[in-house]
Each structure stands twice: as C-alpha cells, then as structure tokens.
C-alpha cells in the first residue's frame, strides 16, 4: 500500500527542511503551496499542487487518497488581523473540513510557541511548561494558533479524528540567539516528531511542545515523548557562537513577538 501524506505550506522554511527528511520508500508526499515548488529530484516520490488551502475545492482535490495531513501552510508571523484570520483560522477550518470529508483520520497541525508567547521563561517548574497549558498568545498570529488548536480539538471531539497540535519553538538549521538555545527544534528532531505523530496508535487530540531536548529547555517534552518522540539534538552545541549575555534573556517565551506592534507585519 502506498502511504500518501499531504503537506500544506510545503514551499516554506519548515516544509523545505522536512521534504527530504520525511521521504520514505513506499511513501508519496503530496506538497501543496500558493507558490510553485521545486520539481521532484531523481527518485523523489512527490506530487506538487499549486493552490490555496483556503479554497475548499482545491483542498477537496488535494485530500483525495491521502492517509494523513501535515498542515504547515499559512501566515507564520504577525500580520493584519483579517489576513491572519483568513489564512490561519479560516484556512485551518477548510483543511480540517476537507480532511474529515475525505475520511482522513490523522492531522498534524503546526501551532506555535506564540500561542503561549506570554508564558514566562522562568516558571520554577523543572518539568517545564506543559503542552496543554492555557494559551497566552503574544500577537494576533498567536491568537490564530490558539484557534488552530481549538479547531483541532473540535474535529477530534466531533468526528474522532486524531489531531496533534505542535507548539513549534524555532525550527531552523541552527538557533539564532539566546532565546533559541531554549526554543530550538532542530530539523532532524522536527522530522522525528512528525514521524512520531504519524505513527502513534490512536493518539486522540493532543497539544505538544515541539523543541529539541535543549539544555536550556523550559517547555515540557513529556507528552511528545509519551507519543514516541526522542530528541537527539541540543542547541547548546551552538552556545559558543551566540551572545549569551544574561541581559539579552527575554522574560517571555515569545521573545520579541511580545513587543511587536499588534497587526503590523513583522520580519521575524
């Protein structure tokens, strides 16, 4: 049997990092984005879809013969309310409704640390902040991610879908700054976590922190590890290249997002 996984927002930063890492024999990646995607390399089993995840017709076609969805597409930073609402909240509703209609029972949703950006770094709890902690958004973008989680919960409770929401920290090749030493999700660990989300038996609805097992980690990996995730990376190996002056330490896990003007596109 061919396993087909639909990845929305596949042309973006995380999608580009995951494309080679999620390739497996017997697996087809169906990659959807507003922007054209690079053509398949030799031996690569991908199907390319250019279109909007906010369009129900596009999504209905994209969901055909799909076993699971990794939903990354949308606006990935602060922006005007109506734009964030359309791409992230309406968009995720369209993705979940199409998945449900197509009988797809497993969806992994990209939430963000910014759904909980106003949680303080220093909680005093050695376990770290739990995944299903109540949202404390830092931006309209963060509000949209809290709504993404709520929509996932709704579709699980109403229709029995398995929905895993990942509160992703900072998923880039390497951590950028002092905050990143706590919040980094290495690309390889990201792929490990997506695989755990795809493989877990009947996980139901969960909100999980998606970070590497960083020495300076302040969010809990308990739920992700219970699902089968095993981080092998630690941002600390980059500490020597980063200014670790404690004066630069942000108070809140959302870092600079907590200060960016609401509704103004930010370059972070």
Contact positions vs ligand NAI (CB under 6 A): 8-9, 11-15, 33-35, 52-54, 72-74, 76, 87, 91, 110, 112-113, 168, 170-171
**180 or 203, CB closer to ligand NAI?**
180
The three-state secondary structure class of 151 is: helix
Among ligand 15L, ligand NAI, none, partner that 93 touches (CB below 5 to 8 angstroms by kind): none
* Beta carbons within 8 Å of 123's beta carbon, 6+ residues apart: 129, 218
229 labelled catalytic: no
Question: Which stretch of DSSP H or E encloses residue 49?
Answer: strand 46-50
Smallest distance from the beta carbon of 223 to ligand 15L, in angstroms?
A: 19
Distance CA 165, CA 204 (A): 11
Q: Which residues pair with 3 in a beta bridge?
A: 27
Q: Which of the residues 141, 155, 229, 252 is marked catalytic?
A: 141
Smallest distance from the beta carbon of 194 to ligand NAI, in angstroms?
A: 11
**40 or 128, CB closer to ligand 15L?**
128
* Beta carbons within 8 Å of 258's beta carbon, 6+ residues apart: 117, 118, 138, 250, 251, 252
Smallest distance from the beta carbon of 113 to ligand 15L, in angstroms?
A: 5
**102 or 165, CB closer to ligand NAI?**
165
Applying CB under 6 A, which residues contact ligand 15L? 76-77, 112-114, 170, 268
Among ligand NAI, ligand 15L, none, partner that 220 touches (CB below 5 to 8 angstroms by kind): none
Whether 148 and 88 have beta carbons less than 8 Å apart is answered as yes
Residue 130, Cβ neighbours under 10 Å: how many?
16
Residues acting as catalytic residues: 141
């Amino acid at each position: 049997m061919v396993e087909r996984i639909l990845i929305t927002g596949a042309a973006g930063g995380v999608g580009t990092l995951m494309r080679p890492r999620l390739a497996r024999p017997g697996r087809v990646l169906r990659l959807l984005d507003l922007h054209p995607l690079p053509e398949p390399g030799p031996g690569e089993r991908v199907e390319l879809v250019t279109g909007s995840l906010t369009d129900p017709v596009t999504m209905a076609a994209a969901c055909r013969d799909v076993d699971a969805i990794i939903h990354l597409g949308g606006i990935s930073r602060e922006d005007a309310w109506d734009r964030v609402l359309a791409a992230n909240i309406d968009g995720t509703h369209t993705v979940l409704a199409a998945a449900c209609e197509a009988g797809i029972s497993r969806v992994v949703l990209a939430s963000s640390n910014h759904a909980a950006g106003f949680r303080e770094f220093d909680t005093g709890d050695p376990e770290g902040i739990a995944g299903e902690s109540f949202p404390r958004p830092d931006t309209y973008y963060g509000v949209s991610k809290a709504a993404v989680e709520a929509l996932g919960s709704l579709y699980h409770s109403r229709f029995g879908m398995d929905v895993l929401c990942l509160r992703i920290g900072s998923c880039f090749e390497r951590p950028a700054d002092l905050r990143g030493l706590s919040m980094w999700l290495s690309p390889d660990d990201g792929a490990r976590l997506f695989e755990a989300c795809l493989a877990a038996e009947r996980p139901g609805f969960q909100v999980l922190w998606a970070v590497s097992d960083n020495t300076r980690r302040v969010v809990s990996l308990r739920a992700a590890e219970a699902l089968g995730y095993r981080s092998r990376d630690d941002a600390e190996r980059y500490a020597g290249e980063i200014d670790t002056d404690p004066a630069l330490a942000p108070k809140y896990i959302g870092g600079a997002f907590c200060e960016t003007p609401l509704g103004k596109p930010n370059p972070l």
